[in-house]
Structure 1
Amino acid sequence: MILFDLINAEMANFPLLALLRSGVFAVALYFCLMGLFSHPTGLVREIDPVVVPKVSRVSNIILMVVDALRSNMISSKNYSKNWPNLYAIIEEGAGQCFTAYLTSPSVTSPRIKAMATGNIPGFIDILYNLEDSSVEQPSWVQLMAANNRRLELYGDDTWLRLFPGAFKRSDGTTSFYVTDFFEVDDNVTRHLDGRLAALHDWDLLILHYLGLDHIGHVQGPHGDAMPTKIREMDIVLGKIVSVLNSSTNDWLLVLTGDHGMSDQGSHGGSSFPELTTSMILISPKFKNQKTSMCTIDGEVFEAKSDQTDLATMMGLLTGVGIPAGSIGVPPLRVLQTFWPQPFHRYAILLELLEHLRKLTKCTDAACDHEFLTSSDVVKLDQLHSEISSLVRLCSATVPPHPACDRMATEMEKVTAQVVNLLTAFQRRTLLHTNNKIAGGLVGFICLVMAAISLSFLVPGIRDILNWEEHSSLKPSHRQRALAYTLLAVNSLLALLLHLFSLTASSLIEEEHQTWYFLATTNCFALLLVLALSVRDGGSSCSSIICVTFVLCLDRFLLKLLNQTGDKWLHLPDLTDWLEEHSLFLWMAQSLAWTGILLTRGLLALFTGRFSRLHLRTMLSLIVVALTQLVYRIAVHAAEPNRMHLSSSSWTSLLLPARLAFLALAADLAVCLWFSFRLVAWSNDLRTSSPLLSTTSCEGWELPSPVHTLALLACLLGRTTSVLLWTGVMIKEILLARVFHTEFAALGSSSPQARSKLIYFIVMLYWMEGWATFFQQGNSNKFSTVDMAAGYVGLSGHSHILSTIMVLFYTYAGPLFWQLSLYFRYILNYGINKRVLGSETRRSHVRNSVVTFSLGFLTLATTVSAVVCLFFHSHLFIWSVFAPKLFFMAAYCCVSIPVYILMLAF
């Protein structure tokens, strides 16, 4: 009963209670995410007791990780010509090639954990990708360090954060400053000569190159700088192999990537290019093999491996043992090459079987394990018994037992059987990973979240569906109230329909189509209502023209700028065409900025006696336009020679960006100052002289400070983003004009009609916000998050600033429309009296608007959480449903504080 009491209308509009419920929802959401995604598998994870390490099979191992090296960047015809040294090595027979598969999420930190531990990181690890803590699970890195093996790390400092104290020497570089293509890799390569000259001084050397990933984020996989960067990696590889070949040491070089890269250049999603990379093993010992495994199937290597295989392989080769919890399977060719002697081969096979028995706790044929079939359990017990007996019999110093002759004759057959058994277990583990959750606890948390969401929404729904008030209205107002009620009900049903769409994977992948349809449909419904009102003399033709223009903007420009979704993401869009035709791109930019300036200039004509003050906002906007154009020109001029710029030359490009930030800050201050001064003057004029008060401007004519945030998004985004935001700002101004005109026609005698119209505006702005989110090129894939937005104007990586800018740019669309709603209809009380009425009415409308918006936010997030709970074993849980929940959770973190501030003012 307590939960139902929360749905009382008066309590729902109480800011303190809304704050409390928002806080409870945020805490519940956190525990919901942890309950759903923080327990990857039910495998044994405890660290084994310290054992005496075996002798390493190689003296020196180099792990060369090229960040975001997708699987076709070595093997496809488009890229293979950039690897002359690598292909020369492969032709000599010294290389073995694999396509390495990995699991979602395809971001650096979880992938390093998988390579080091051989286990499957939790999906929740994507939240910790920016700030990593040390790995608690056993890994070959920790085992080597514990056994006094000498490790060195040069490159991505994620390794240093995950494995503190493990490296004897290191020089870490930040992985997040994505506009740095060259220096981040030069800092790695400059150590090579010295370390290759001292092979006796280290056992394992990790080189983690970041430049290729950075190029992908900025230019995409087919960017102009990509061939040069790949050739640079090939030169480094050739130098390493040349030096190692001249030494007498046994050595192994592993070339791989931590994850792949999408066709748009980012990563984090679940597409094939993101979840595959190449793994090349290079050693002179491979020349003894009769055949090579570097055959190509299509555009990738035919031989397959899993990223977790690296952990088991490294543990065996270094002699420190397999990390507890590793599900990796050493490649068959590695076993054949580094353990050619029968006894040594059987000993290593026995170690693999012992590891599998520990993982599954299956020590006899009667074992029952979810990842092993009954025949697998029998096979495991049989192989373990036979191999352990042979190893025991043949390890004696006395003349060998006659049964030892079987070792040589059956060695390859038994090896294949063990590898096949391990592979079957690995595949089932990967297929069913993350299926174990605390369903009861998560279900209860979802109920709490649902109750809070309904407590926000139900009062507004009750107001919308309240038909009793209509009978007391004048006939003219009754008709308008009915029209607004129908608009609000239509919008409400549309948003509820969207909630149902969150249960379908294909509709989530193409969610932009849903929002485009809903936003367009509701604008068209508004157009019909206005057309009918014009016939009755209630609305003006100018309002119809405004809404028609909004519809045309949406359908014929904004939705064409950026292709998004899943099925048609690969198709070229208007942005692609403009970037290929630089002349038209610069013309479009100039027209966009001219449109922004003209829009604000025309608004100044409506402000009457305050037009002179409005000119100050014009001057600040001109400065914003000039500084942003200068920044774009500077970046464009530097782009062709980016791979060859010195650090100081590239750093000098920071000045235009920072000047643009200063101009935006000045514009925001001027717009805020003008708006609040105008509100104060409007109040004074209404008090002193009703005649003078008629010269004051409407709320829609104000230079909105929220538009400055749109201009910030122009700076953070791609060059064509100014086209999108020009259209969005014009849409917002036109819709504000239409609704203020409607409020003026209603007057102050029909609070019921105003209430219905307010609710419709809230829902329309909610739809427009998410439509803009997708028009910006976003989707429900992590790979579409533009990380480059977090580094505009920064000379180095800053976790706080970069995260804030990336979050702001990603959710700029919803934030823009929600803040515009608040500014146009609530904040400017002095101007909006015809909208809000009395001060008491203003508080009521403010609380209703904010809590109603919170209701849609929290309910959509709750539905996503419930879908993840029920579909936890669904094929698309990690590629579709989980990312959607994470996007909604991140938006909650961004928007809930904003809503709380709205309630406070």
Structure 2
Amino acid sequence: MRGLSSWLSIAAINFLLPVGILLFAKGFFPYKPFLPGLAVFGDEDVRTPAPFDKVVFMVVDALRSDFVYGERSGFKFTQSLISDSVAIPYTAHATSPTITMPRVKAITTGSIPGFLDVILNFAESDTSSTLAQQDNWLAQIKARGGKLVMYGDDTWLKLFPGMFERNDGTSSFFVSDFTEVDNNVTRHIDDELKRDDWNAMVLHYLGLDHIGHKSGPQSAFMLPKQVEMDGIVERIYTAMETQPHLSSTLLVLAGDHGMNDAGNHGGSGEGETSPALVFMSPRLKQLGALYEESHGSALKAPTVPKSGDFGFYSTVEQSDVAPTITSLLGLPVPRNNLGVLIPEFLWLWNEGERIDVMMRNARQLRTIVAVQYPEFERMVLARGMNHNSCGDSASDVDELVCLWKDAADRYASWVDGKDNESAIKTAKESLVKLCRRYQEILSGVASNYDLRLMAAGMAVMIIATVAGITGLVPLMGGSVLADWTFPVMTLAYAGMMFASSFVEEEQHFWYWVASGWFMVLFLKERRNQASGLGMIGIMVLLRIIRRWNQTGQKHAGAPDIVKAFFPEHTTVLWILIIVSYFDVLTRIWKNGLRRIDGQFAWFAAMAAVMAAFCFKLSFAAYDAAELVPSWLDFVLKYTNEYSLVTQAQAVFGVVAAGMIYTFVFEVNAGDATHESRECAAAALGEFADLFLLTQTRFTNIPLIFFFRLISRQLSSLATLTATETTLTVLIMQHVSFFSMGGANAISSVDLSNAYNGVAGYNVILVGFLTLVSNWVGSIFWASSTASLLPGKPDDWRRHVLTMTVFYAVAAVAVMAACTALRTHLFIWTVFSPKYLYLMAWTIGFHFVAGVGWGSVRWAVRPGE
């Protein structure tokens, strides 16, 4: 009865974890409010001529600035247009999170999307993030009677339902496809360029982003893809020059975000936040001439990066695209826009019109300020404010009021014809300054947190923590060493959550803890020579594991074994991979298929492991052929006739068949002995490891072999107690996560194996495979726990409760940090991603792998 009560308590505590996490998330990640309806020209607004009547908006996903402007770029035609002054280049600053959906929102509405869009971006079937009710430049074109067409990333179809006259969407998450996903866009271009019934054509190419996710920015596929995209630019621009109905068309080439050195994005690294932005049209030649005549210098002289590697030309905010496009098309600026018309384009209007265009932008931003700061309008109407030194204002509101009055007075002076020659210049300068300051202050305004929900979520988690600790204390006592180390480590980890630099570089905490803990175990085992040597071997392997993948923020691109050693020693890599698969093969043959004839069992085990190995070899040959030595070509001759999807499905099939056979014929057999149950439990682990090898990057496969060696050495330590085993597993779960390339950044999410065996997007399958591929090492240790624990009835209950307490304490700490630091500069770049990872660790990993799969293996294994 005590056991039943204990398990019920553990189940109740674990139920509280997702409740608390989701409650806090709902309060911490709310949708940002917006002004409904479409903007219209007001009575005070002066209509100005539209320099263009059509726009081709070409998005190349993950188009980092150096991909277009760098010396090794494949965009040679685009660079020639810049040199000829018919293209104006920028580096567009994309704020975090640097993923497609929020970036498309910023480009089209000019607003700053909420961080919750990170989650909605992965839930491709979600429709709650639609912009159907929010003003944007597409809706403005539609409201004027224009027609829109779209080809490419179906994120646009989700954001703008029913908006497009013609469309053909492709999934943005099928990252294995470099070719068809872009050909499906290109095949429509020639036909659309011949038509004269559209006002905006959106093209969103995904292939370059997919190459980045699969192989990184240095991939051999990258330059040919850039050349292909440059060819699309040339095709469109040539049509603009030769076809009369396209003579007043603006071509915009834009990246929605960039990518980091690993080919991923989502965070705030300079490579991720620096996409290219180029405006192209033969009409811009006149703009360049007028600018040069006035300023005595070229509009866009060639430049090298001003800072880092990606600051080419001038930098503008990505939200500036929305007011720039609407102004160039003669449309009202979207109501929720926080962007500022890019000043260089003002030269497309005459002197007086420039001021009217900027005043419209200023009035639109003023409406946002008035909503955000209700006292603003009252202060504007007040008399007596001196606006000669606005920078000395007491508050942001005072400064905005001061700047508005200054700009309004100068605008009025120009309208009244007072000192007209200098009034034009000063009015334009003051309006640009006003709009920029509006943008800075409004963009920095904190999210509308729901503190009540946040407090409720934290309260639930505190209750779970207290209950967990209360239940755990009576179960402790098996090891003084572990009983003291666990609370000290847990509290140190909790305190670390309040420092942004520690969150960014969390891997060092776990590497230090692992080194210290294994040294303590070594000292404990030193009297036993064999165990002592084994512990030395573990510490040597741990040192290698730490250098396998450099991760975090500061050293993510630094040389490591994967990036620096293996490209020069591919034979070593594949020998380690082959040894890893051979180790699984021998274990499956030894522990599984025991009721089958020995020769046939060996053949079946060989077939299963060879299918898995051939798939990873084919995957590697497609993904990074330079890392596959020529002596393996003979294998590829036999596998090339099968698609990667088919090969992966075959692997999953044999893994599932092996597990089903083990459950039906080995575990549940009526004559199953203690030994056969032990072997069956081990066989389940081997089939699970074969699945994990399939779901990890091939360069990380040797790490699984190293983990297996460490696990075996730990199982041979006769003096290792159950609580010490639990603590070791907890530490290694986190060490393995970071050593395989994980980090507390959205950009570290690995999608390269998320589509193994999947022919199209399926949110459940892809979500599951993504979770597994990013937590492969951690899942291995969760699975291994059942074989490492001694096997007494209370051991698993103590283990689950210890893990639950750790994640509960971690959740309380992260929640408290996010609440206390909600106005911190790094709240959306460091602490919010950490909270998302907390959700994945607790709900995804802890429940599914730690408690779920671990309990299955524990139930199969016979007790003592």
After superposition, the Cα gap between the structure-2 partners of 1:60 and 1:458, relative to the gap in structure 1 and judged at 3 Å, is same
Mean CA deviation greater in 87-96 or 435-444 = 435-444
Q: Distance in 2 between matches of 1:544 and 1:673?
A: 41
Separation in 2, partners of 1:495, 1:674? 42
d(CA) in 1 for partners of 2:4, 2:299 = 70
Aligned length: 803
Q: 1:530 to 1:190 in 2, by over 3 A?
A: same
Preserved contact between residue 216 and residue 262 of structure 2 (Cα < 8 Å): yes
> Partners of 2:640 and 2:684 in 1: how far apart?
35
Q: Which residue of 2 aligns with 1:474?
A: none
1:421, distance to aligned residue in structure 2 (A):
1.4
Determine the C-alpha separation between the residues in 1 that align with 2:678 and 2:500.
Answer: 42
Q: Does 1:896 align with 2:847?
A: yes
Q: In structure 2, what is the equivalent of residue 292 of structure 1?
A: 299
Deviations 1:221-261 (A, max 9, x none): 11101110001111110111111012343121111100110
Match of 1:277 in 2: 275
2:54 matched residue in structure 1: 60
Aligned partner of residue 753 in structure 2, secondary structure: helix
Q: Could you tell me which of 126, 145, 148 is aligned with 1:148?
A: 145
Distance verdict in 2 for CA 1:855–1:491, change over 3 Å:
closer
Instruction: Tell me the residue number matched to 1:857.
Output: 807
Gaps in structure 2 of 5+ consecutive residues: 293-297, 371-375, 386-392, 627-638, 860-864
TM-aligned CA deviation for residue 277 of structure 1: 0.9
1:871 aligns to 2:850 (yes or no):
no
- Does the 8 Å CA contact 1:671/1:703 hold for their aligned counterparts? no
Q: CA deviation at 1:186?
A: 0.8
Letter in 2 for 1:859: V
How far residue 549 of structure 1 moved from its aligned partner, in angstroms, is 2.8
Which of residues 291, 301, 311 is equivalent to 2:322? 311
* Partner amino acid, structure 2, of 1:237: V
Q: Quick check: 2:482–2:727 contact (8 Å CA) kept in 1?
A: no
Q: Does 1:712 align with 2:707?
A: no
CA deviation profile, 1:427-461 (whole Å, cap 9, x unmatched): 2333x243542335423421321221221133323
Q: Are 1:425 and 2:438 matched, yes or no?
A: yes
Residue of 521, 528, 533 corresponding to 1:526:
521
Change (3 A) 1:874 1:706: farther
Q: Distance in 2 between matches of 1:628 and 1:768?
A: 25
**Mapping 1:121-160, distance limit 5 Å:** 121-130=113-122, 131=124, 132-133=126-127, 134-135=130-131, 136-160=133-157
Kindly state the Cα deviation for residue 120 of structure 1 after the two structures are TM-superposed. 0.7
Alignment of 1:345-424 (within 5 A): 345-361=354-370, 362-363=376-377, 364-365=379-380, 372=396, 374-387=398-411, 403-404=416-417, 409-424=422-437
Instruction: For residue 880 of structure 1, report the CA deviation from its aligned partner.
Output: 1.9
- CA 1:335/1:239 → structure 2, altered by over 3 Å: closer, same or farther? same
Distance in 1 between residues matched to 2:248 and 2:743, nearest whole Å: 48
Q: Distance in 2 between matches of 1:215 and 1:611?
A: 46
Cα contact 1:98–1:278 (8 A) shared by 2? yes
Give the match's secondary structure for 2:658: helix
Paired residue type of 1:261: M
Describe the shift of the 1:636–1:287 C-alpha distance in structure 2 as closer, same or farther (beyond 3 A). same
Matches within 5 A, 1:18-167: 18-40=10-32, 45-48=35-38, 56-79=50-73, 82-130=74-122, 131=124, 132-133=126-127, 134-135=130-131, 136-167=133-164
> In the aligned structure 2, how far is the partner of 1:616 from the partner of 1:702?
21
Aligned to 1:16: 8
Going from structure 1 to structure 2, the CA distance change for 1:10 and 1:77 (only over 3 Å counts) comes to: farther
What SS does the aligned partner of 2:111 have? coil
- Secondary structure at the counterpart of residue 202 of structure 2: strand
Q: Deviations over 1:729-773 (max 9, x none)?
A: 2222332232xx348xxxxxxxxxxxxx32222221111111111
Calculate the aligned-residue CA RMSD, in Å.
3.2
Residue 553 of structure 2 aligns to a residue whose secondary structure is coil
What is the CA deviation profile of residues 358-413 of structure 1, one whole-angstrom value per residue up to 9, with x for unaligned ones?
A: 1111445368999845344222123235536755xxxxxxxxxxx44855653343
- Once the two structures are TM-superposed, the CA of residue 124 in structure 1 deviates from its matched residue by 1.3
Query: Aligned partners of 2:641 and 2:280: how far apart in 1?
Result: 36
Residue identity matched to 1:340: N
Greater alpha carbon shift after TM alignment, 369-378 vs 796-805? 369-378
Larger mean Cα displacement after TM superposition, 773-782 or 49-58: 49-58
Q: Which amino acid aligns with 1:73?
A: F
Contact 1:178 1:218 (C-alpha < 8 Å) held by counterparts: yes
State yes or no: 1:635 paired with 2:619. yes
Counterpart pick for 1:230 among 226, 229, 238: 226
The alpha carbon displacement at 1:679 in A equals: 10
Equivalent residue number for residue 454 of structure 1: 466
Distance 1:817 1:127 in 2: 27
- Structure 1 residues 567 and 272, CA, compared in 2 at 3 Å: closer, same or farther? same
Question: In the alignment, what sits opposite 2:185?
Answer: 188
Aligned to 1:485, which of 472, 480, 486? 480
Give the aligned residue type for 1:155.
G
Aligned partner of 1:326 in structure 2 is 337
1:573 corresponds to 2:570: no
Match of residue 475 from structure 1? none
**TM-score of the superposed pair, with normalisation by structure 1:** 0.82
1:703-727, Cα deviation, whole Å (9 max, x unpaired): 2423433322221222222201111
Paired residue secondary structure (1:57): coil
Between the aligned partners of 1:615 and 1:566, the Cα distance in structure 2 is 51
| Higher-Rg member (1/2) | 1
Deviations 1:623-649 (A, max 9, x none): 23211222233334445899xxxxx98
Pick the aligned partner of 1:584 from 564, 569, 572: 572
Q: Write the distance in 2 (CA, Å) between the matches of 1:118 and 1:892.
A: 35
- The residue type equivalent to 1:65 in the other structure is V
| Gapped regions of structure 1 (runs ≥ 5) | 1-8, 392-402, 467-480, 535-540, 643-647, 684-695, 744-756, 826-831, 837-841
Give me the whole-angstrom Cα distance separating, in 2, the residues matched to 1:161 and 1:366: 43
Separation in 1, partners of 2:621, 2:719: 49
TM-superposed deviation, 1:159: 0.3
Specify whether residues 623 and 457 from structure 1 end up closer, same or farther in structure 2 by C-alpha distance, changes over 3 A only: farther
Say if 1:566 and 1:390 are closer, same or farther in 2 by CA, change over 3 A.
closer
In structure 2, the residue matched to 1:210 is 206
Contact kept, 8 Å, 1:509 with 1:566, in 2: the verdict is yes
Is 1:854–1:899's contact at 8 Å kept on the other side of the alignment?
A: no
Distance 1:31 1:145, change over 3 A: farther
Change (3 A) 1:49 1:138: closer
Is the 2:414–2:424 contact (alpha carbons within 8 Å) kept by the matching residues of 1? no
Task: Give secondary structure in 2 for the equivalent of 1:787.
Answer: coil
Against the structure 1 CA distance between its residues 899 and 774, is the aligned structure 2 distance closer, same or farther, given a 3 Å change threshold? Answer: closer
Cα deviation per residue 1:11-38 (whole Å; 9 max; x = unaligned)? Answer: 9953334333333331221121121232
Q: Contact conserved, 1:118 with 1:327, CA < 8 A, in 2?
A: yes
What are the Cα deviations for residues 165-193 of structure 1, in whole angstroms up to 9, with x where unaligned?
Answer: 11111111111111111111111111111
In structure 2, how many angstroms separate the alpha carbons of the residues matched to 1:666 and 1:66? 42
1:511–1:565 contact (8 Å) kept in structure 2: yes
Find the aligned partners of 1:893 and 1:370 in 2 and give their Cα distance: 46
- Is the 2:215–2:623 Cα contact (8 Å) retained in structure 1? no
Contact 1:675 1:702 in 2 (8 A): no
Is the CA contact (8 Å cut-off) linking 2:779 and 2:850 kept in structure 1?
no
User: Contact between 1:98 and 1:294, CA under 8 Å: does it hold in 2?
Assistant: no
Q: Distance in 1 between matches of 2:567 and 2:381?
A: 64
Instruction: Measure, in 2, the Cα distance between the counterparts of 1:775 and 1:145.
Output: 50
Alpha-carbon separation, structure 2, partners of 1:285 and 1:409: 28
Per the alignment, residue 829 of structure 1 pairs with: none
User: Alpha-carbon deviation of 1:488?
Assistant: 3.1
Q: What CA deviation, in whole Å up to 9, does each residue of 1:803-847 have, x standing for no partner?
A: 11001111222232223224554xxxxxx6xx41xxxxx2x4433
Q: Which amino acid aligns with 1:730?
A: L
Query: How far apart in 1 are the matches of 2:819 and 2:109?
Result: 27
